[in-house]
Amino acid sequence: MRLDGKVALITGGASGIGRETALLFAKEGARVLVVDRDEKNGRAVVGEIESAGGTARFAPADVSRAADCESMVAAAESAFGKLDVLFNNAGIMDSADDDAVKTEEEVWDRTMAINLKGVFFGCKYGIPALRRAGGGVILNTASFVAVLGAATPQLAYTASKGGVLALTRELAVVHARESIRVNALCPGPLRTEMLMKFLDTEEKKQRRLVHVPMGRFGEAREMAQAALYLASDESSYVTGASFLVDGGITSAYVTPL
C-alpha cells in the first residue's frame, strides 16, 4: 500500500475531492483525520472508511479560524501520534463572486479567509507537526484558474487560488531541506457540487467545456488519484509544483514564457 503507516489530515473531507481522497488514502494504508465544518457528512466518510477496514477519525473545524486549525492538528497527533500528510483542501466558490465591479467586499473577504488564509493557518500549525514527525508532505488545493483565468467571472476565487500557488512555491523553497515537500494540486473544471452550483445554467457549463480539450468535466476521484501520487514516496523529488490535472485546458490556452 502506497501510504502504509502514514497519518493524513484532510480538510474539506466531507465531500468532493476531500471525501474521495480520504477514502483512497485510507484504502492505501493511511490513518486519516477527516476535517470539515459539516459534521454529519464528515462522520459519514469516517464510517465508510471504517466499514472498509480502514482507520479514521473526524474533527470539526472552520479553517478560517486559527484556533480551529491548531486544534485539528493537535487532534491528528493525539489520535494517531504524528502527522505525515497535510492536505489543505477546504475551499468555497461563492455564487455571488463575479467581476471587480459586482463582487461585494464581504464575498471577497470570506473567500480569501477560507481559500487562502485557511491554507496559511493549516501550514502555520501543521508544519511544526511535520517537523516532529521527521518530515512530510503538504498538499494545497489551488485551481487551473490561478494559471489561466476563468471564462465565467469569479474574481475572488481566482485571486485566492493564485495566492495558494504563490504560498506553495515559497513554502516549498523554505522547507525543502527539512524533508517537507509542498505542492499545489490544480484541478480543472470538475463535476462536483461546488462547481455545478456556480455553473448553474447550461450556457455557463458549455462556456467551460468548450475550452477543455477532453470535452468533459473531471471527477473528484481523479483528483484523489493525483493527490495520492503527491502524498506518496513516488513523488519524492517533487516539491514546489503546480500539479495541473485539468483535461488539457491550460496546455491549450497558456503560452509558456
Q: What is the pLDDT of residues 79-92, one digit of tens each?
A: 999 999 999 999 99
For residue 191, what pLDDT is reported?
A: 83
Q: What is the DSSP pairing of strand 85-88 with strand 55-60?
A: unpaired
Q: What is the widest separation between alpha-carbon atoms in the chain? A: 51
CATH topology of domain 7-232+240-245: Rossmann fold (3.40.50)
Averaged pLDDT, 1-23: 98
Show me where the domains of the chain are located.
Answer: 7-232+240-245
Q: pLDDT-based confidence at 207, cuts 50/70/90?
A: confident
Q: Is the pLDDT of residue 116 over 80?
A: yes
For residue 205, what pLDDT is reported?
A: 78
For residue 257, what pLDDT is reported?
A: 54
> Which member of 125, 157, 229, 237 is catalytic?
157
For residue 178, what pLDDT is reported?
A: 98
**Contacts for 170 with CB less than 8 Å, ≥ 6 apart:** none
Q: Is the pLDDT of residue 256 over 70?
A: no
Q: Is the pLDDT of residue 123 over 90?
A: yes
- Please say if 157 is a catalytic residue: yes
pTM above 0.85, yes or no: yes
Name the average pLDDT for the chain. Answer: 94
pLDDT in tens, 36-74: 999 999 999 999 999 999 999 999 999 999 999 999 999
Distances (CA, A) of 20 to 31, 65, 143, 181: 14, 25, 17, 22
For residue 211, what pLDDT is reported?
A: 83
Q: Is the pLDDT of residue 209 over 90?
A: no
> How crowded is residue 252: how many other Cβ atoms within 10 Å of its Cβ?
12
For residue 152, what pLDDT is reported?
A: 79
Candidate from 117-126, 134-143, 183-192 with smallest mean pLDDT: 183-192
For residue 255, what pLDDT is reported?
A: 63
Question: For residues 250 and 148, what is the distance between their CA atoms, to the nearest angstrom?
Answer: 6
Averaged pLDDT, 3-8: 98
Three-class SS state of 18:
helix
